[in-house]
Amino acid sequence: MDVRQLRNMLAVLEDGSLAKAALRVNLSQPALTKSIQRLEKQLGVRLFERDPRGMIPTLYASGLRNYAQAVCASLLEAEQQIEALRSGHEGAITIAAPPLIMTSFVPSAVARLSQHRPKLQISLVSQTRNLYADLLDGHVGLVVSMLFDEIPKRGLVKQWLFDDRLVLVMRPDHPLTTLSFVEPKILLNQKWIFARDGNWGQSRLRVYFEQHGLDLPRSRIESHDHVVMKSIIMASDHIGLIAKLGVEREISTGALACIEIDSPLMGRPIGIVRRENEPTTPATDDLIGFLKDAAKERGRNSR
C-alpha cells in the first residue's frame, strides 16, 4: 500500500469529488481515478460509490479513514524531523488544549521543554472544538484535555495525568461558605453565572439537579470567558461552577472560595491524547515527561 494512495483517498473523502480532490493533490482526474482503483484492487473492496452528488464513501473507506490519517500524519512528522536534523534544528511540536487547561497547566511543562531543547520550535493552540479531528489530521502533535468518553476510540490513545473537579466558586465572605454541607435545594435560589449553554460542566450540573428531582437553576449571567466569570464572582453574590484547576491560584490567595459538590459527576480526568501506534520523537517524550512531572507537582501541592 502506497502512502500516496492513502493521501489521494483522504482527499476524495474530504472533498467528496474527484475533480476537487485532483486539484488538491495536484493530479489529473484520470490519474487520481487510477490511484483509487489500484488501492481498491489491493484491498479487495470498493471504497467509493459514484453518485450524482459526488463520490460517496463506502463502509470500507470510512473504516480506513483514521488509519490513513495516522499514517500520513506520522510520515509528515518523520519528514519534518529529518529536515530538522539535516538543517541543524530540533524540529517542531504543536500542542493543543482547551483554554483553561492551556493557561493553568500546560505552561510549566512547555517552559521546561523549551529550556531543555532550546532549538525546538513549539506551537501552542488553545481551542475547544475539533481537537481530536485536528490531531487525527496531523495538524497538532499532542492534545492535553479532559479524557472524554467521546474521544474517538480508533486511531487515538489516552494517557491519564491527574484528576480535576468542578467546584462551586464564590467570594470568600459569601453566605454559603458558612455552611458545612450545601444541599441542592439551597443552590436553587442562588445567583448563578454559567459558562455557556450546553457546555460539559453545565450538562453535569443539570444531571446533578435532576438526580435530586430538581430543575437546573436559571442563570443570571452567562459568559464564555472564565476570567470574566471569576471577576464577577469576586465582586458580587454570584456563584459559578468552574474547574478547580482554573481557580487554584485565587483560592490560595484568598481571592475566591470554593465548595466541592459530593458527586462523581463533578470529576474531570485530565490527560494526554496522541495518535495510536505512532512512534514518538525525543521532544515528544520529553514533553510527556514534563507534563507528568507537572501533574505530580499538582498532587503534592493539593495535599
Angle between helices 282-301 and 106-116 (to 10 degrees): 140
DSSP tag of 154: S
- pLDDT given for residue 237 in this prediction: 94
Q: For residue 160, give the C-alpha cell.
A: 491519564
Given a cut of 80, whether residue 70 has pLDDT beyond it is no
Closest alpha carbon to 238 in 261, 262, 218: 218
- pLDDT given for residue 3 in this prediction: 78
Given a cut of 50, whether residue 120 has pLDDT beyond it is yes
Among the CATH numbers 1.10.3720.10, 1.20.120.1750, 1.10.10.10, 1.10.150.80, which is that of 3-68? Answer: 1.10.10.10
pLDDT in tens, 152-174: 777 889 999 999 999 999 999 99
Given a cut of 70, whether residue 31 has pLDDT beyond it is yes
> Residue 86 is which amino acid?
R
- pLDDT given for residue 85 in this prediction: 59
Q: What's the CA gap between 255 and 177, in Å, rounded?
A: 13
pLDDT in tens, 274-296: 998 888 888 899 999 999 999 99
Cβ atoms of 115 and 144 within 8 Å: the answer is: no
* Long-range interactions of 223-229: CB distance < 8 A, separation 24+: 223/193, 223/194, 223/195, 223/196, 224/195, 224/196, 226/99, 226/100, 226/195, 229/193, 229/195
Give domain limits for the chain.
3-68, 73-162+268-301, 164-267
Given a cut of 80, whether residue 300 has pLDDT beyond it is no
Q: What's the CA gap between 127 and 135, in Å, rounded?
A: 12
Given a cut of 90, whether residue 133 has pLDDT beyond it is no
Beta bridge partners of 95: 124, 142
Domain 73-162+268-301 falls under CATH 3.40.190.10? yes
Angle between helices 3-15 and 29-43 (to 10 degrees): 110
- pLDDT given for residue 224 in this prediction: 81
Q: For residue 217, give the C-alpha cell.
A: 437553576
Asked if domains 73-162+268-301 and 164-267 share a fold, the reply is yes
* 3 state SS of 180: coil
> What's the distance, CA 161 to chain centroid?
14
- pLDDT given for residue 198 in this prediction: 61
Q: Where does residue 68 rank: exposed (0-12), middle (13-18), buried (19+ CB within 10 A)? A: buried
- pLDDT given for residue 90 in this prediction: 66
Categorize the per-residue pLDDT at 225 as very low, low, confident or very high, splitting at 50, 70 and 90: confident
- pLDDT given for residue 165 in this prediction: 93
Q: What's the CA gap between 258 and 241, in Å, rounded?
A: 9
- pLDDT given for residue 274 in this prediction: 93
Q: What percentage of the chain reaches a pLDDT higher than 90?
A: 43
* 3 state SS of 126: strand
Average pLDDT score over residue span 207-225: 90
> Residue 6 is which amino acid?
L
- pLDDT given for residue 303 in this prediction: 58
DSSP H or E stretch at residue 133: helix 131-137
- pLDDT given for residue 88 in this prediction: 42
Q: What's the CA gap between 132 and 140, in Å, rounded?
A: 9
- pLDDT given for residue 230 in this prediction: 94
- What is the separation, in whole angstroms, between the first and last Cα of the chain? 53
pLDDT in tens, 228-249: 999 999 999 999 999 999 999 9
- pLDDT given for residue 259 in this prediction: 93
Q: For residue 137, give the C-alpha cell.
A: 489530521
Categorize the per-residue pLDDT at 61 as very low, low, confident or very high, splitting at 50, 70 and 90: confident
> Residue 99 is which amino acid?
P
- pLDDT given for residue 81 in this prediction: 67
pLDDT in tens, 42-58: 888 888 888 877 888 88
What CATH number belongs to 164-267?
3.40.190.10
Average pLDDT score over the chain: 87
